[in-house]
Amino acid sequence: MNQAHSPDVLPATPVDELSIQTIRFLAVDAIEQAKSGHPGMPMGAAAMAYTLWTRFLRFNPRDPSWPDRDRFVLSAGHGCMLLYALLHLTGYDLSLEDLKQFRQLGSRTPGHSEYGLPGVEATTGPLGQGLANAVGMALAERMLAATFNTPEHVIVDHYTYVLASDGDLMEGVALEAISLAGHLRLGKLIVLYDDNRISIEGSTEIAFTEDRPARCAACGWHTQTVADGNDVAQVAAALAAARAETDRPSLIAVRTHIGFGCPAKQDRASAHGEPLGPKNVQETKEKAGWPLTPTFLAPPEVLAHCRQALDRGAARQADWEERFRRYAQAHPEKAAEFQRRQEGRLPEGWEAHLPIFSADQGPLATRVASGKALNALAQKIPELLGGSADLAPSNNTLIKQPPDFKEVEPDVQWSNGYQGRNLRFGVREHAMGAMLNGLALHRGFLPYGGTFLIFSDYMRPSIRLAALSKLHVIYIFTHDSIGVGEDGPTHQPVEQLVGLRSIPSLLVFRPADANETTAAWRLAVTHRGGPVALVLSRQGLPILDPARYPQLLAGVARGGYVLEEAAGGAPELVMLATGSEVHLAREAREMLTAEGRRVRVVSLPCWHLFQTQPAAYRDEVIPPGTPLLAVEAGSTLGWKPYVGPAMEVVGLDRFGLSAPGPVAMQELGFTAANVCRRAKKLLAGI
């Protein structure tokens, strides 16, 4: 069919125009009633969002998790009333009463869109994150298609759409992700750029003057511009052209007007983040010919028109289910595997090859042990994939058996390359973190990403959103202390551990040896309810003999356990330690035991898990009233939960120094002798 005569690109009809106005004023009324919110973006972007949702986006409001639906990510999450209005009008489980509760306590319409609500594909608001999430989603689609589709049966074939703002494109995370998306040739990723040229402080001319489409084109993107974002036919034609481009991601810069239709606020910064105000609402509605009452008006003809999405979505899903039925008949094992991965179930025997390390294999860096555990798991868990921010040899994050992603050469098609499991993120920690979230949000993968612990700071926004969304993502952070050595204080993490531990729903493991590392990986793979960070050593550490310490596996699963019991009776001192410092505590205990002291050593690889244990277990491990000495090569601030009248911390409340690792550790007090000295002072009450 000639595109000019395609139903998708025909001019707007009267009911189209009425629907677009309905979206605008539902947003205006909700924000006005809440006395809080961002009306400008929904008012300006309503036409292009409506065009996408009614003419191109494939979804089923009755089954928001249908596997082959298109994904829509509102990266400009502050404009979430635009999304809520679309969800309500097209028939999702979001009522008019829900819209009236916008930004209120316990409502289903929070102030920025949150994953888990019907039709919301990602938690957005921190700018740039949603766009980078979408790159991960688009990559997931390509990888699943390469793995499961056959020439006769196509069961994975959907698009990922993004609505992004000027602020999204300003953020560094977005540019990192745009660069990588172009490199990966993600031709089914389409970004609608809401080019309204206004930011909170005023015109974007004050800080953002480069040619945005040209920048994306330089990164390998297909780009277009739409002169009038209110022209449905123009927007539709651009979307059709973007869908026809299969080898490059697409950016469509759509010229819009923030606060469109409001005489006092259109094209002004004041339209961005505050209600219009009663007088402006009245003037805007009068200008548009919209009734002043009732508020929250959704005309019956608009509902009837927009809710055609229910039948349309049901038909599309039924067509897919029939294709999947035929696929399952032809390829029953592949179909069962696809369903297992969509449901997030681990395969039978997934832990069969997990390594157990004997004491005579040591010393062994926990980063090396992690690489061995990762590769053992990868043999049984095909959805486990990931990479590193250009540090794979140091992080030990390479999966050795499956094929790598193919190198991109001019004119080379990617098809088979998408079956690789080693993702090459380049030096892009920001984008890596956000793309891992996108892979997890899409479903079908268990993603991991690695870098040095010090550079986890670059990933903090993505880690926080993964925790907030309770995503199953694994982080591998190596070079975990001043034991990094000669690289000096710029690369020696001090405050990172306490920072990560402060994030709700993030499990942080700092294992003491190779076997605790294996146990931590076991939990990282099985844990639900949030991401997991493995914090690992660069330097070799002694291996805890599993025959001597049979409590290790169960102890790590509980977050903390008694590793070395006090000799000769109840402990008069308990030493708490994590990671490499567990071995310092063990050595100090031996010295103190030789002097007749009763000292217990507790390994505490995961504080959060330990804190969730029953009080009886915690009291059994750390007897109340017993003097405590904590040992960790990091900030002492994080040990506050254990602070009491008889508590000391051998920690690090300063930056490190440049010297060989053992020298740095000794110079900064991480020696058995210093631990003994501090223990004696504590016991003496000094």
Q: Which of 432, 437, 389, 500 is nearest to 124 (CA)?
A: 437
Length of the chain: 686
Other CB atoms within a 10 A radius of the CB of residue 514 amount to: 30
* DSSP string of 393-450, one letter each residue: HHHT---SSSPPPPPP-TT---GGGGG--EEE--S-HHHHHHHHHHHHHHSS-EEEEE
- For 261-307, give the DSSP string: T-TTTTTSGGGTSS---HHHHHHHHHHHT--SSSSS---HHHHHHHT
Identify any residues that bridge with 648 across adjacent strands, giving them in sequence order: 629
DSSP 131-170: HHHHHHHHHHHHHHHHHH--SS-------EEEEEEHHHHH
495 part of the active site = no
DSSP class of 58: -
Other C-beta atoms lying within 10 Å of the C-beta of residue 325: 11
Nearest to 635 by CA among 613, 609, 612, 656: 656
Residues 6 or more apart in contact with residue 4 via CB below 8 angstroms: none
Catalytic residue among 429, 516, 564, 581: 429
End-to-end CA distance of the chain: give it in Å, rounded. 87
Amino acid identity, position 121: E
Q: Which amino acid is at 619?
A: D
> How far is 563 from 555, CA to CA, in rounded Å?
9
CA nearest to 518, candidates 686, 338, 369, 333:
369
Q: Which residues 6+ apart lie within 8 Å of 184 measured at CB? A: 139, 142, 408, 414
* Catalytic (active-site) positions: 429
